[in-house]
């Protein structure tokens, strides 16, 4: 998925913790739903389900979109219907961007638009959003996502999950492996 959040702010890893802490200051954790968009069938687009799985490992309870049960273009509308209206949604997705932005995160206090850059008409999602720039934008976005380094995507997913845990006052779990997998 290619996400284009409105009014994004480019942040590095440490800025994510502050982003999550700001959300936590306004909304208790029990009112938060993480919506992690992507598929496990593409290395670049696996950021969402990898992040969702790692958020569960960090102790978050309300996560939609994991490696076991991804939230992608084929089921996004149905999965959104499962979110109670009073919940605050933090949408997380991968995107392609400029060469200097690869490895950074675009945060916004507004929705993101999954797959807009490839012409799909999916609903805007999230009260807050994070688009992780996993690779450079190019003429063949699907191929670029397929050839994106899984190591790079795993690292970015881990940064998001650990930053969320720290920002919401949980004790980030490091697990036994480098990326928080147990």
Average pLDDT, the chain: 87
Instruction: Say if residue 127's pLDDT is above 90.
Output: yes
Enclosing H/E stretch for 19: helix 13-26
Instruction: Say if residue 180's pLDDT is above 50.
Output: no
Q: Which whole number is the average pLDDT over 162-172?
A: 91
Kindly report the pTM of this predicted structure.
0.88
Instruction: Say if residue 47's pLDDT is above 90.
Output: yes
Whole-angstrom CA distances from 57 to 61, 140, 176 are 9, 34, 12
SS3 (DSSP) at 36: strand
pLDDT given at position 4: 47
pLDDT given at position 146: 84
Whole-angstrom CA distances from 152 to 116, 156, 158, 168 are 23, 6, 10, 25
Parallel/antiparallel/unpaired status of strands 88-97 and 128-136: parallel
Q: Which domains does the chain have, with CATH numbers?
A: 9-167 (3.40.50.1450)
Instruction: Say if residue 177's pLDDT is above 90.
Output: no
Identify which of 30-39, 71-80, 117-126, 145-154 has the greatest average pLDDT: 30-39
Q: Which whole number is the average pLDDT over 155-167?
A: 96
């Amino acid at each position: 998925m290619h996400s284009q959040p409105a009014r994004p702010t480019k942040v590095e890893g440490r800025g994510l913790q502050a982003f999550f802490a700001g959300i936590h200051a306004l909304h208790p954790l029990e009112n938060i739903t993480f919506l992690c968009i992507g598929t496990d069938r593409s290395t670049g687009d696996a950021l969402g389900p990898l992040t969702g799985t790692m958020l569960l490992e960090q102790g978050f309870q309300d996560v939609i979109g994991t490696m076991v049960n991804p939230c992608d273009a084929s089921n996004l509308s149905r999965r959104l219907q499962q979110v109670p209206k009073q919940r605050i949604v933090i949408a997380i997705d991968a995107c392609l961007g400029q060469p200097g932005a690869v490895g950074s995160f675009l945060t916004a206090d507004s929705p993101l638009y999954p797959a807009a850059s490839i012409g799909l008409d999916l609903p805007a999602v999230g009260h807050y959003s994070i688009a992780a720039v996993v690779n450079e934008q190019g003429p063949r976005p699907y191929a670029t996502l397929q050839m994106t380094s899984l190591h790079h995507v795993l690292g970015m997913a881990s940064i998001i999950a650990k930053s969320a845990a720290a920002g919401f006052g949980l004790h980030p779990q490091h697990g036994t492996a480098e990326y928080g997998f147990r």
